[in-house]
């Protein structure tokens, strides 16, 4: 893990490259790469920042986001007052103008993940106005029929593809759900070109919802109540739309849709599991999704999760988003499993990814063969560090909010110094926590307990509960610098 961390983060850090990248940035490959990789991508970088946050380097996190905001302020093709204003391109490059298409919209989610670890209020004050501009652009320019479901698009073609393929680059570019993508003019505006896709994607809808959920939390913490209400309305609308229109009650799976007919595109891909990550699936839907996720005839290969179901006619183990395995999507699916309480499944996924790192001598690949686990794509690709983040969640029990601790089985002896958070397991039934800032902890012991849970600090019990029902958890406020021991005591 140490080598993986070095290869996937430190080796990817660049100095500013004017005029497009006036601040330090992370690239997808190393500093010796002079190809197109010398750029700051949108969703890739969020996985790197999430892993970088514990290093107490708040200025660098701000630098990375400032590069995005510099594009919003200075893109000559998207000035303020136009429908393009607020777009953050897929790749932020040294040269201007930038590309005319965006990417998976998880900037707000990434910002919150950093803040949850650093508690850097300056980061939120810097980012929230720009995040609002970006997400407002996404919610309007990528939802032209205003039904809450998000499409794909592009204002111009990029240098390596025609405009339709450029629009596919906004997401999992070669996934079979996009084989029928075509671009049309805006249905109501009457100006511009054929820039708007005819497919509503489960993926983009969930990713936007992840950022909207993050905006709600960040606005609440900073007192931006009216802005918070805006994103609450957006999220409610999106959740209702995806549950009712994209869920197929017959096959019990989420599918992308034709924008104009609402007809499902019945290709079973990992996109269907992203409602778990975004918290948009109902409890019943989550159960059906996990059943299919762990089916060895569908997605649960030797090294899950395959990007396409293995019984799909387009499945290829080496296929680009058609059967291969990717670290960032596995990480996101594992977050969703934890969100709904499927901790054992998430832990098994993390174990399999760790096995792949060991199999490749401590290196992470961009992607893997979906059956054999053979490394594919770029070696030491930046988002390989997401495998470390999976272990933080599963092996050390530190959940996505960096405040909830789910005690893993057989954890005795594990110690984690994660920046401003320290987690130690003296026994299998206790955990010690220490935070550098005031934090509202929740400690969960999975399963029903016939035991009392106690929180102690400086030798004194400050709180105790006797769990009732299926929930075995306790919440408390931790003061900075204090060590708290949370333990369950079995009855004699």
Enumerate the CATH 2.60.40.1180 domain ranges in the chain, comma separated.
404-489
Encode 252-285: b = buried (16+ Cβ within 10 Å), e = exposed: ebbbbbebeeeebbebbbbbbbbbbbbbbbeeeb
Exposed, middle or buried by CB within 10 Å (0-12, 13-18, 19+), for 36?
middle
**What pLDDT is stored for residue 492 in this prediction?**
46
Contacts 24+ apart (CB under 8 A), 428-433: 429/487, 429/488, 429/490, 430/485, 430/486, 430/487, 430/488, 431/397, 431/405, 431/407, 431/485, 431/486, 431/487, 432/483, 432/484, 432/485, 432/486, 433/405, 433/478, 433/483, 433/484, 433/486
Q: Which residues of the chain carry a pLDDT beneath 70?
A: 31-37, 490-492
Report the relative pairing of strands 404-406 and 452-457 from DSSP bridges: unpaired
DSSP state of 55: G
Cα gap 147→145, rounded to integer Å: 6
Enumerate the CATH 1.50.10.10 domain ranges in the chain, comma separated.
2-394
Identify the CATH class of 404-489.
Answer: mainly beta
**What pLDDT is stored for residue 190 in this prediction?**
84
**What pLDDT is stored for residue 450 in this prediction?**
78
**What pLDDT is stored for residue 36 in this prediction?**
59
Exposed, middle or buried by CB within 10 Å (0-12, 13-18, 19+), for 172?
buried
β-bridge mates for residue 177, sequence order = none
**What pLDDT is stored for residue 467 in this prediction?**
83
pLDDT tens column, 281-321: 999 999 999 999 999 999 999 999 999 999 999 999 999 99
Nearest in space to 350 (alpha carbons), one of 331, 371, 325: 331
Return the CATH number of the domain spanning residue range 2-394.
1.50.10.10
């Amino acid at each position: 893990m140490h080598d993986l961390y070095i290869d996937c983060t430190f080796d990817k850090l660049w100095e500013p490259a004017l005029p497009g990248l006036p601040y330090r940035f992370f690239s997808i490959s190393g500093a010796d790469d002079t190809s197109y990789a010398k750029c700051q991508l949108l969703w890739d970088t969020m996985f790197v920042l999430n892993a970088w946050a514990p290093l107490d380097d708040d200025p660098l996190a701000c630098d990375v986001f400032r590069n995005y905001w510099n594009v919003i302020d200075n893109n000559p093709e998207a000035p303020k007052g136009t429908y393009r204003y607020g777009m953050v391109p897929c790749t932020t490059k040294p040269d201007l103008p930038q590309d005319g298409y965006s990417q998976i919209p998880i900037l707000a989610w990434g910002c919150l993940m950093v803040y949850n670890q650093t508690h850097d209020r300056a980061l939120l004050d810097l980012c929230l106005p720009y995040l609002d501009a970006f997400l407002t652009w996404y919610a309007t320019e990528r939802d032209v029929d205003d039904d809450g479901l998000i499409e794909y698009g592009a204002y111009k073609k990029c240098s390596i593809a025609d405009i339709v393929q450029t629009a596919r680059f906004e997401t999992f570019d070669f996934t079979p759900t996009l084989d029928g993508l075509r671009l049309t003019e805006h249905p109501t505006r009457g100006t511009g070109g054929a820039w708007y896709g005819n497919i509503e994607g489960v993926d983009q809808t969930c990713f936007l919802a992840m950022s909207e959920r993050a905006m709600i939390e960040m606005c609440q913490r900073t007192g931006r109540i009216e802005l918070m209400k805006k994103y609450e309305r957006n999220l409610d609308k999106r959740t209702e739309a995806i549950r009712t229109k994209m869920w197929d009650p017959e096959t019990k799976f989420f599918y992308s849709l034709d924008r104009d007919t609402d007809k499902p595109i019945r290709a079973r891909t990992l996109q269907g599991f992203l409602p778990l990550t975004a918290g948009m699936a109902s409890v019943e839907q989550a159960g059906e999704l996990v059943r299919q996720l762990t089916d060895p005839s569908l997605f649960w290969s030797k090294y899950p999760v395959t990007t396409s179901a293995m019984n799909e006619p387009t499945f290829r183990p080496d296929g680009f988003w058609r059967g291969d395995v990717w670290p960032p999507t596995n990480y996101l699916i594992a977050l969703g499993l934890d969100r709904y309480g499927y901790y054992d499944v998430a832990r098994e996924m993390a174990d399999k990814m760790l096995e792949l790192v060991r199999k490749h001598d401590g290196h992470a690949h961009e992607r893997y063969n979906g059956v054999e686990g053979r490394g594919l794509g770029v070696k030491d690709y930046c988002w390989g560090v997401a495998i470390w983040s999976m272990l933080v969640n599963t092996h050390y029990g530190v959940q996505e909010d960096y405040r909830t601790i789910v005690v893993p089985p057989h954890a005795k002896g594990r110690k984690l110094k994660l920046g401003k958070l320290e987690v130690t397991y003296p026994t299998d039934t206790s955990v010690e926590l220490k935070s550098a800032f005031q934090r509202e902890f929740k400690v969960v012991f999975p399963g029903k307990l016939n035991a009392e849970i106690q929180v102690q600090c400086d030798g004194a019990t400050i709180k105790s509960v006797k769990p009732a029902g299926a929930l075995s958890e306790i919440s408390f406020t931790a003061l900075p610098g204090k060590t708290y021991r949370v333990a369950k005591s079995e009855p004699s």
